[in-house]
Structures are given as structure tokens and as C-alpha cells.
């Protein structure tokens, strides 16, 4: 599983350490999305949001800590892309319903 790293403040260790949390492998998600004709998009969005909500764990003691630096922008860009794709799919669905063949 892909991991996302950030500097965190660990209360147990009493110092700044490197923390990790599950990250979203967007390349794999994109492949599955293409293989399922976009149906995987909602699952991908749920996975990305769930991973983003998880706390970082200290690499030394395993306690959770809060990030003291911003996480990399990759996950934010993925979520933005997913929202844009969802809007496009919703628009296409709306058009298909309004103008049946
Ligand atoms: Zn710690």
C-alpha cells in the first residue's frame, strides 16, 4: 500500500518525528477506473477521502500525531480531479436522461 509522509508532532515521543498514513495509489485507481468505464470513480473518491481523514502515526512509537507541515499536494489534486470527473459524469448522465436516443 502506498504511504503518505509528513512531519508530525508526537506527544508520546515529545518531539517532531516523521509520520505516515495510508495514501491513495492514483495510478492503480486510474487503471481500475478505466477498466470499469468510470464506475470505479465513486469508490476512488471514498478511498481518497477516507485516507485523507486518517491521522499520521509516529514512525518510532506508533502514536498518532498531527502534521506540522502541509501534506503533499498530490492528494488534493487527485480529489480535485475526481470532483471534476464526477461533475462531467453527472452532466453526461443528465444529458442522457434529457435527450434519450
Ligand atoms: Zn512517537
What's the pLDDT tens digit per position in 10-69? 999 999 999 999 988 888 988 998 899 888 988 988 888 888 889 999 999 999 988 887
* pLDDT score for 71: 56
- C-alpha 64/C-alpha 13 separation (Å) is 11
Number of domains in the chain: 1
Query: Which grid coordinates are listed for 100?
Result: 434519450
- Residue 24 structural domain: 3-98
> In angstroms, what is the span from residue 35 Cα to ligand 1's centroid?
41
Query: Which grid coordinates are listed for 39?
Result: 464506475
- C-alpha 49/C-alpha 24 separation (Å) is 9
> In angstroms, what is the span from residue 57 Cα to ligand 1's centroid?
8
CA distances from 91 to 40, 67, 85, 101 (A): 17, 37, 10, 16
For the cut 90, the answer to whether the pLDDT of residue 82 exceeds it is no
> In angstroms, what is the span from residue 25 Cα to ligand 1's centroid?
26
> In angstroms, what is the span from residue 70 Cα to ligand 1's centroid?
19
* pLDDT score for 14: 94
> In angstroms, what is the span from residue 12 Cα to ligand 1's centroid?
5
Give me the sign of the Cα torsion angle 74, 44, 32, 95: negative
> In angstroms, what is the span from residue 13 Cα to ligand 1's centroid?
4
Amino acid at each position: 500500500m502506498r504511504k503518505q509522509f509528513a512531519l508530525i508532532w508526537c506527544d508520546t515521543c515529545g518531539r517532531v518525528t516523521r509520520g505516515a498514513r495510508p495514501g491513495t495509489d492514483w495510478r492503480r485507481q486510474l487503471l481500475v477506473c478505466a477498466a470499469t468505464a468510470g464506475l470505479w470513480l465513486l469508490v476512488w473518491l471514498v478511498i481518497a477521502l477516507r485516507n485523507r481523514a486518517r491521522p499520521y502515526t509516529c514512525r518510532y512509537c506508533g502514536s498518532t500525531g498531527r502534521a506540522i507541515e502541509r501534506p503533499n499536494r498530490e492528494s488534493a489534486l487527485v480529489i480535485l480531479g475526481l470532483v471534476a470527473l464526477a461533475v462531467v459524469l453527472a452532466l453526461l448522465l443528465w444529458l442522457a436522461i434529457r435527450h434519450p436516443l
